Structure 1
Amino acid sequence: MTPVDPRTLEIFRAIAETGSATRAANRLNTTQPSVTRTIGAFEKSCGFRLFDRGRNGMTLTPEGEVLLASVERSFAGLRAVQRTIGEIRGGLHGTLWATAIPVVAEGVLGALLGRFARENPQVSVNQHVAPPELVLNRILAGEVDMGAIIGPVPIGMKLAAVPIGERTMTLVVAPHHRLADRDLVRFSELDGEIFVMMPRAHNIRSTVDAMLEEFGVRPGMIHEMGSQRSVAEVVRNCDGIGFIDTEIVDSMRPGSLVAVRLDPPASWTINLIHRRDDTSKVLAAFLDWLAGQADQPAANPVSAGP
């Protein structure tokens, strides 16, 4: 087997995280044909398939899953080297590494990192966007200094948590929907509706699934979308109902959707998390800075455009 090029591993990792050669190419600022050729050559060199290709994208094979775990450990090692170099320079020279799901990265965490960078111009800020299941893995592997999750830290993990905001779930419908003129809807009234839902790993989906069971509601149909904005677009163009973050609704074009309060309401704390046993100088400085923000007026979060 020929030596593995680091760029090849970066491409492999990007496809694993995005589920698509096209999205991986966009992330890495290259072309889709180049990504496809590289991963095809890598699979040939390995002697086994790394991905299953299907209509819904590319998913890791069992062999690919094993290799990804090894690749993540390698990237964590490189991350530790980079951090050490930054700390040797002294002061706050270095990089603050973070990861979060898109809605948090584009909102409250992005706003905090921007303000920290403005006040600490010698520090480089590097934020990755990842699916919920990878955020914790990257922190535990030591690949990043910190991350942000919605909801509590899983029990048993040696992670510290600092609340940095709150998210609220809302029901959304198209302006022509029968519920569009309601201010408040009881969840028990939604029996038989067409539900447009997030994937099961998402906190909103977990909450809605629990409410379906609690109230005995049976959807007439369930459509599953990969992002909150895709949920909003499907709802806007069909007779279904969706469940998305209030901040996503606020950032969309006025009049495209109608937000309706749910009874019972659902909200979650956004927690900034980091390993208790591995705090870099830059992270320690950021945490001290963050503690000082509690005494200042909150800045308006930056919402992504529609």
Structure 2
Amino acid sequence: MMEQHLLVFKDVAETKNITLSAKKLHMSQPSISLQIQNLENQYGARFFDRTNKGVTLTKEGEIFYAHVRSVLDILTSAKEQINALAKGQRGLIYLGATLTIGEYILPNILAYLYKTHPDVDFKVKIANTESISQDVLEKKLHIGLIEGPVPRHKDLNVEKFWEDELVVVLPHSHSWASRKSITLAELPHERLVTREEGSGTRKVMEMALKERGLDPEHLNVTMELGSTHAIKQVVSAGLGITIISALTVNREVDQRLFKTLKIQDAPIYRPLSILTNAQTNQTKDERLLINLLHDHRLLSDILSKEFSELEDLE
């Protein structure tokens, strides 16, 4: 079958090694070599230069490779649409998100979409930025939602959908609770509860403080915890203050427990971005989700609600 030949060609072009491709595709090396030879005969061109180290694409091979990728994408898209019909018109979106987004943004968005578009299903993966980006590149995920810096790649489309602010969060019983903002210089005087070393939020916070002239070493870090949820519990018990994403204290229940202060002389922002693969077109249902993420007013509304209130947003 022609599609099989194209898949073999694409894999060899990417691995640059017939032995590797044979293992990956569970085929014999002679069989792979034969399929490539058939393609070369059919198009009257040599697609690979063969050396002891492996194979590399010729100029003709590079042209053919670009077209093969497009053809295989079209065939994959056709299969997905046919499968959707077979499943009774249900759309399926493979969605990836990083931790803060997965915990604090996604549940409300999905609850809203299940209510307004019950014919769309989601498969969700929560992982770090690197893993989500890789899966979008390999087309295992249709859409990735990530926080912080984005890896640059020609096949990654990046669209910012939210500016997340890192804010100082403290309990209402705190002496600063009547204020709206604090200065950076005041931070080292308070007991600070943070995420563990190596966490994305911690990294963004420390980099931002350094850029603004405050050495993170001067902070009085009394506790390091592995989740934002744990930090919020410790802060609500009056054991310290924290610097976390404003999104994580966005809901009304949290607003009754905590006071959020801005850092007045140097607000700290980080972008939240949508990743898609530049080589594929989005389906109608995927565009629906992306458009919702870009609708700032509706998104603000959805994120500030409790689940029980989402019904009123239709």
TM-score for both structures, normalised by structure 2: 0.58
What is the alpha-carbon distance in structure 2 between the residues aligned to residue 95 and residue 106 of structure 1?
Answer: 21
d(CA) in 1 for partners of 2:294, 2:93 = 20
1:174 maps to which residue?
A: 171
Question: Paired residue for 1:64?
Answer: none
Residue 138 of structure 1 aligns with an amino acid whose one-letter code is D
1:169-228 deviation per Cα after TM superposition (whole angstroms, max 9, x unaligned): 110123333333332111122124322112344443122212443323502234222222
1:136 is matched with 133
1:165 and 2:165 correspond: no
CA distance in 2, matches of 1:115, 1:254: 21
State which of 88, 94, 100 in structure 1 corresponds to 2:82. 88
Where does the alignment leave 5 or more consecutive residues of structure 1 unmatched? 1-80
Following the alignment from structure 1 to structure 2, what is the Cα–Cα distance between the partners of residues 253 and 115? 20
Q: Which has the larger radius of gyration?
A: 2
Matches of 1:158 and 1:243, distance apart in 2: 34
CA distance in 2, matches of 1:82, 1:222: 52
| Residue equivalent to 1:242 | 242
SS in 2 for 1:244: strand
Give the equivalent residue in structure 1 for 2:225: 225
Note the C-alpha offset of 1:121. Answer: 5.0
SS at match of 2:302: coil
- Aligned equivalents of 2:109 and 2:256: distance in 1? 30
Higher helix share: 2
User: Once superposed, what is the RMSD of the aligned Cα atoms?
Assistant: 3.6
TM (normalized to structure 1)? 0.60
Hey, what's the Cα distance between the residues in 2 that align with 1:117 and 1:140? 27
AA of the residue aligned to 1:89: N
Partners of 2:171 and 2:203 in 1: CA distance: 23
**Aligned 1:241-280 pairs, distance under 5 A:** 241-251=241-251, 252-263=253-264, 264-279=266-281
Q: What's the offset of the Cα at 1:100?
A: 0.8
Number of aligned residue pairs: give it. 224
Gaps of 5+ in 2: 1-74, 308-314
In the TM superposition, residue 247 of structure 1 has moved relative to its aligned partner by: 2.7
Q: How does 1:287-306 map to 2 (within 5 A)?
A: 287=287, 290-291=290-291, 298-299=298-299, 300-302=301-303
Cα shift at 1:119: 6.4
Are 2:194 and 2:231, in contact at CA under 8 Å, matched by a contact in 1?
A: yes
- Answer yes or no: is the 8 Å Cα contact 1:100–1:129 preserved in 2: yes
Shift in alpha-carbon separation, 1:199–1:285, aligned structure 2, 3 A: same
Q: 1:212 to 1:193 in 2, by over 3 A?
A: farther
